[in-house]
Chains A and B, each alone.
Chain A
Amino acid sequence: MQRIGVFVCWCGSNIAATVDVEAVADALSKEPGVVFATNYQYMCSKSGQDMIREKIKELGLTGVVICSCSPRMHEATFRKTCESAGLNPYMVEIANIREQVSWVHKDKAVGTEKAIILGRAAIAKVQLNTPLIAGQTPVTKRALVIGGGIAGIQTALDIADAGFPVDIVEKNPTIGGKMAQLDKTFPTLDCAACILTPKMVDAGQNENIRILSYSEIEDVKGYIGNFDVKIRRKARYVDEEKCTGCGTCMEKCPMKKVPNEFNMGLDNRTAIYIPFAQAVPKVATIDANYCLKLNTGKCGICSKVCLADAVDYEQKDEILEEKYGAIVVATGFNPISLEKFDEFAYSQSPDVVSSLEFERLMNAAGPTGGTLLRPSDKTHPHTIVFVQCVGSRCDASAEKGKEYCSKICCMYTAKHAMLTREKYPDTEVYVFYIDVRTPGKGFDEFYRRAVEQYNVHYIKGMVGKVVPEGGKLKVQASDLLDNRQIHIDADMVVLAAAIEPDKSARPLATKLTASMDTNDFFTEAHPKLRPVESPTAGIFLSGTCQGPKDIPETVAQAGAAASKVISLLVKDNLVGNPCVAKPDELMCNGCSSCEKVCPYGAITYEDKPFRGPNRTTLIRRVAVVNPAVCQGCGACTVACPSGAMDLLGFSNRQIMAEVDAICK
């Protein structure tokens, strides 16, 4: 039997004016287990708290009920008070007689009666409370960043700057991501490479950062503070330590017809390659799909010309096992495939390009050396049509494209149009749009400059069809404001393709037990208040893997994710919430019902030996909850048919005791 003390607060006149606090204390003093009940003007005041402490010690109280304001207000206060008097803080329950009684019921008799009932419910609950001790788990002071685009780089730099080691795992041979492919950036028009490559170099040289390029996540186990990650280091057939990045191998490689993915396949590269001049790490990689030596056994030229003796045709994939305290997902985006949008003749004419291809065509380091030429005949285009929202804001029933707005297309299309007009004033530029969305610092001004200063023709309406004919692209479109059909003979058509999360994100989310929305963007722990955390503790989100973003937003989110990681890694131990799910293994069926509804992946299963009849041993599969991962929602407790799963602090019996007390 508990020895319970009941403390009824007046809250000045806030409670006492409409609740007879004396009568409440008096009535509750008669409840079973209650050894002391009193009322006081301000329980939360120093003297009120002193009284509670004194009574705990004097009467040896094992449980405390405070009838006062909402537990959301002072539960933590009173728990601390009791803890300082030697009582387990989870032996305290609050009956909310202010927000739920005195402030909403004006009749004193009614209020007093309800206050007594709420007090009884709290007493009934405390009767079944057990001391709970929050678990502590040590933190591995090291972070993993998955993805080496601008988001991953920025996050890694910020974490490294705080003194913690970081690994960047990048599936491509170099970090840099999509930003490395861009020409200029809106709205300031500074060159992407000029602002990105110094960061790449910083990341490459930072002693706290290790770049694991050409690598993928194989497996993730563990939980916040203690992740065990297996990383597949794909064979690049070049020893990273030895390669100097001199490029001789690329000059001599006879296999020169490999589509260059960095230039969106608009030109070719060699089978052994460094993706671009500023690659980090600047190390060659052999493309096993095209290498003659690897495929036919004949050739081996790169090995012969390599002065560093770095080429190793025998190299195999390696699995690296590492421990991390926190994981940041920065897997980024890709433009969608335009196959399903054949009305724009993307697959019929090389002069219909995606915006990212156009970006390469404008780039000084691109396939045309920065001169805008039509891919088909390498001539100057004089009329260019830009089509916005290709695959964005589509109808859910359309079976192609995405429902969401890709967010960045309006601005980069304005940029493309403006840059074209600036470099080639003789070129007519048309932009077809549904809406022009320019919320952002300096964004609308930028768009207006495109229209007003550069005379870009913005036309509200969608392009219906593009037909390649006689070296031209016949564009049929509608002008919704003028309500007329337009026909344009264009030299080039540029499609602002929707962006979608990288394909690697979905399998990665499964490995991380991090949740995703239906579009495969990672879900944040709270859409407003915890935008850079995944609901799975210890997993953080950086950049477009969480939703479409431009560069400044990505960098801001990357920094925010880094600061969350840092505030986790500075801790030596994590103190958990002790109100977590707890399975009774004697009753557990091992049926996996609980696991299916756990949003955190906190539940695993173990085969455990149990005593069977006639001194036999039975092996049974039973659920195990990791208290460091469980957040205490209780979804599992209801999914469990046998009632083996219960929630500490809100147990089945505690809640039923409250129900009984209220309904009596």
Chain B
Amino acid sequence: MQVDKNWTPTIVAFCCNWCSYAGADLSGNNRLSYPANVKIIRIPCSCRLNPMFILRAFQRGADGVILCGCHPGDCHYTTGNYYARRRMTLLFSMLDYLGIEKERTRVEWVSAAEGAKFAATMNEFVEAVTALGENKRLEDFRCKQ
């Protein structure tokens, strides 16, 4: 695919309030840079992420969506990320089944202490999505400017 050199992907990162959002804060505290394409939405827990939100992001022009939550076993609400893990596994598998690039969606567990992991994850994810190019398969032409 011909990739526009100036094109950069839009990435939505859903972060749970207790671990990953704090991890993102820590990467800020430590001045660990990651691309500005990544925009974070704070949710109370990874289990709050409804598959509808992911599809919505793609519809509105996101090129990649990542969910970050507490490591399994460390959920602030005890079990939230276990449910999120099953839901996202099934959803991603379904997207792949429909032929939608699986590299556009990801789950990473990032603790409040893992500022470096947060930044590294975002760098890597942006790179992977950039390589894929624009999201064409789940875009909505009506939402294009």
Contacts and interface: CB of A to CB of B under 8 A. Distances in A.
In the complex, which of the residues B22, B76, B77, B119 has the most CB atoms of chain A within 10 Å of its own CB atom? B77
Interface string B64-84: 000000000110111110010
Contact of B56 (A110, A111, A635, A656): A656
B80 A633 contact: yes
Given A72-B25, A515-B79, A634 B40 contact: no
B77 A633 contact: yes
List the 7 closest pairs (A to B, CB-CB), nearest first: A99-B28, A634-B48, A663-B60, A633-B77, A103-B28, A635-B47, A633-B45
27 contacts: A72-B21, A73-B25, A99-B25, A100-B40, A101-B36, A103-B28, A104-B119, A111-B36, A118-B39, A597-B47, A597-B79, A631-B77, A632-B44, A633-B77, A637-B50, A638-B47, A638-B50, A638-B51, A639-B83, A652-B52, A652-B53, A655-B41, A655-B50, A662-B12, A663-B57, A663-B60, A663-B62
Nearest to A600: B77
Contacts of B73: 527
B51 to A, nearest CB: 8
B75 to A, nearest CB: 8
Nearest to A94: B42
A106 B33 contact: yes
Given A656-B52, A659-B62, 6 more contacts: A121-B41, A525-B78, A635-B47, A638-B49, A650-B43, A655-B41
A634 B45 contact: yes
In the complex, which of the residues A72, A106, A632, A638 has the most CB atoms of chain B within 10 Å of its own CB atom? A638
A662 B10 contact: yes
B34 A104 contact: yes
B25 to A, nearest CB: 4
A72 B145 CA distance: 35
B44 A650 contact: yes
Given A597-B83, A663-B62, A664-B61, A635 B77 contact: yes
Interface in A229-250: none
A477 B32 CA distance: 57
Interface in A267-301: none
A66 interface: no
A637 B56 contact: no
Interface of A: 70-73, 96, 98-101, 103-107, 110-111, 113-114, 117-118, 121, 515, 523, 525-527, 535, 579, 597, 599, 631-635, 637-639, 647, 650, 652, 655-656, 658-660, 662-664
Contacts of A104: 27-28, 31-34, 36, 119
Contacts of A527: 73-74
Nearest to A634: B48
A103 B31 contact: yes
B41 A658 contact: yes
Nearest to A71: B42
In the complex, which of the residues A72, A515, A526, A663 has the most CB atoms of chain B within 10 Å of its own CB atom? A663
B2 interface: no
Contacts of B62: 659, 662-663
B6 interface: no
Contact of A72 (B22, B48, B74, B80): B22
Q: Is the interface of B mostly helix, strand, loop or mixed?
A: mixed
A527 B56 CA distance: 36
Contact of A652 (B27, B29, B44, B50): B50
B129 interface: no
A101 B24 CA distance: 11
In the complex, which of the residues B17, B36, B52, B77 has the most CB atoms of chain A within 10 Å of its own CB atom? B36
A107 B36 CA distance: 10
Contacts of B21: 70, 72
Contacts of B41: 121, 655, 658-659, 662
Contacts of A525: 78
A512 B130 CA distance: 50
A599 B83 CA distance: 11
A121 B42 CA distance: 11
A11 to B, nearest CB: 12
Contacts of A535: 77-78
B24 A99 contact: yes
Contacts of B49: 638
A100 to B, nearest CB: 6
A351 to B, nearest CB: 44
A599 B49 CA distance: 17
A663 B50 contact: no
B85 to A, nearest CB: 12
A536 to B, nearest CB: 10
A634 B61 contact: no
A639 B84 CA distance: 10
A107 B27 CA distance: 17
B106 interface: no
Contacts of B87: 638
Contacts of B24: 99-100
Nearest to B145: A664
Contacts of B119: 104
Contacts of B40: 96, 100
A599 B78 contact: yes
B44 A114 contact: no
A103 B83 contact: no
B78 A523 contact: yes
A113 B35 CA distance: 13
A656 B40 CA distance: 13
Contacts of A632: 44
A371 B75 CA distance: 52
A632 B74 CA distance: 17
A393 B6 CA distance: 58
B14 to A, nearest CB: 8
Nearest to A73: B25
B28 A659 contact: no
